[in-house]
Amino acid sequence: MRTQNYSRKRQAIYELLLSTDTHPSAEWIYNSLKPQYPDLSLGTVYRNLKLLEGNGAVRSVAVVDGCERYDAKMTRHSHFVCKKCGKITDVFFTETMPDLTEKVYIDAAKDVEEYNLIFYGICTEC
Amino acid sequence: MRTQNYSRKRQAIYELLLSTDTHPSAEWIYNSLKPQYPDLSLGTVYRNLKLLEGNGAVRSVAVVDGCERYDAKMTRHSHFVCKKCGKITDVFFTETMPDLTEKVYIDAAKDVEEYNLIFYGICTEC
DNA sequence: TTCGTTGCAAACATTTTGCAGTTTC
DNA sequence: GAAACTGCAAAATGTTTGCAACGAA
């Protein structure tokens, strides 16, 4: 990977993701930071999300209505997606979630690195 | 839902999906059927996939490289996605997969209808 | 004849990218 | 000063849609 410099905006994007549990899209992040960073551009948000994802600082948890949604909470947990309003909420199992990657043997896989478990339904507000 | 007529092309799309385990994208389906249906259009493939998905005849199992990928095998199972080549393979647990929707209690959920479990890694051919 | 289905192409929405200027180190 | 970062706008990409023609019942 390419070496990184410090970037005020990348920091802001990352901290915003850390501080929220809404699992935002690029656009939500853009709109949230725009007041404080009037010269922020959407391209920068996209670029930094990809970069942070590459770093392992952040991960994409789902694509809802065609929009990639991100999370900076990297402890193992899964998500519930409301089919109606698109809200994403965290789902924790008792204690921590099992490491399923160690529990499956997949013929076609040389290496199973991670997994993503998503529940779908209707949320209490819909 | 809107009443349906019999449609030769919809049938062909559905049967192609049933006969393959490649979890194809709309474009792959389009290219596969084009020789036999020279006047097939991509829009029709998209329309019918959405329609079949609405019927519950087919489901979207993952989005790989920005492309929705479909499966007509509706028995409960999960998938392995190769991060390099994008190939999707079926993953079956011993016997059948547990119905996790009955095993979780999600505060934010009024109704948990389904779940989707995807493993990521590198396949044996990459 | 009615209404679902389709081809076609234009429209759409999200994401990526090229470039010139700016910031970081 | 070199290399990373950014704004901007254009381009790319996958998907949806309007419409007139077509097909099924």
- Name the residue facing A124 among B83, B109, B124 (closest C-beta): B109
Chain B residue with Cα closest to A87: B108
Structure tokens at A38: 């009037």
Pairwise CA distance, residues B29 & B37, whole Å: 11
Structure tokens at A64: 């809802």
Helix, strand, coil tally for chain A in percent (to 5): 30, 30, 40
DSSP letter at A6?
-
Structure tokens at B102: 């009955």
All protein residues with a CB under 7 A from any atom of strand D = A 2-5, 7-10, 37, 39-44, 47-48, 51, 66; B 5-8, 25-27, 42-43, 46-47, 50, 63, 65-68
Q: From chain B, which residues contact A within 8 Å (Cβ)?
A: 63, 80, 82-83, 87, 89, 91, 93, 100-101, 104, 106-124, 126
Asked if residue B13 lies in contact with residue B33, where contact means CB atoms within 8 angstroms, the answer is yes
Instruction: For nucleotide D23, give the residue with the nearest CA to its C1'.
Output: B7
Closest C1' nucleotide to B68's CA: D14
Beta-bridge mates of residue A43: none
Pairwise CA distance, residues B16 & A1, whole Å: 41
Asked if residue A51 lies in contact with residue A4, where contact means CB atoms within 8 angstroms, the answer is yes
Structure tokens at B76: 């409960």
Query: What's the pLDDT tens digit per position in A24-35?
Result: 999 999 999 999
Query: What's the pLDDT tens digit per position in B69-125?
Result: 999 999 989 999 999 999 999 998 765 667 788 878 899 999 999 999 999 999 999
When computed from its CA atoms, the radius of gyration of chain A, rounded to whole angstroms, is 16
Across the interface, whether the CB atoms of A112 and B80 are under 8 A apart is answered: yes
**Alpha-carbon separation of residue A116 from A69, B34, B88 (angstroms):** 13, 34, 14
Q: Which residues does chain B have within 8 Å of residue A126's beta carbon, measured at their own beta carbons? A: 110
Q: B70: burial class by Cβ within 10 Å (0-12, 13-18, 19+)? A: buried
- pLDDT band at A101, cuts 50/70/90? confident
Chain B residue with Cα closest to A113: B121
Asked if residue A79 lies in contact with residue B83, where contact means CB atoms within 8 angstroms, the answer is no
Helix, strand, coil tally for chain B in percent (to 5): 30, 30, 40
Query: What domains lie within chain A, and their CATH numbers?
Result: 1-73 (1.10.10.10), 75-126 (3.30.1490.190)
**Phi and psi dihedrals of A109, rounded to 5?**
-105, 130
Mean pLDDT score of chain A, rounded to an integer? 93
Q: Which residues does chain B have within 8 Å of residue A100's beta carbon, measured at their own beta carbons? A: 117, 119
- b/e burial code for range B85-100 (CB count within 10 A of at least 16 → b): ebbbbbbeeeeeeeeb
pLDDT of A82: 97
pLDDT of B96: 60
pLDDT of B97: 65
Across the interface, whether the CB atoms of A114 and B121 are under 8 A apart is answered: yes
Q: Residue A96 pLDDT more than 70?
A: no
Chain A residue with Cα closest to B116: A118
Structure tokens at A43: 């391209």
Pairwise CA distance, residues B119 & A112, whole Å: 7
**Phi and psi dihedrals of B59, rounded to 5?**
-140, 155
pLDDT of A93: 75
Query: What's the pLDDT tens digit per position in B4-48?
Result: 888 999 999 999 999 999 999 999 999 999 999 999 999 999 999
What's the pTM? 0.93
Pairwise CA distance, residues B117 & A69, whole Å: 17
**Alpha-carbon separation of residue B12 from B16, B47, B71 (angstroms):** 6, 13, 14
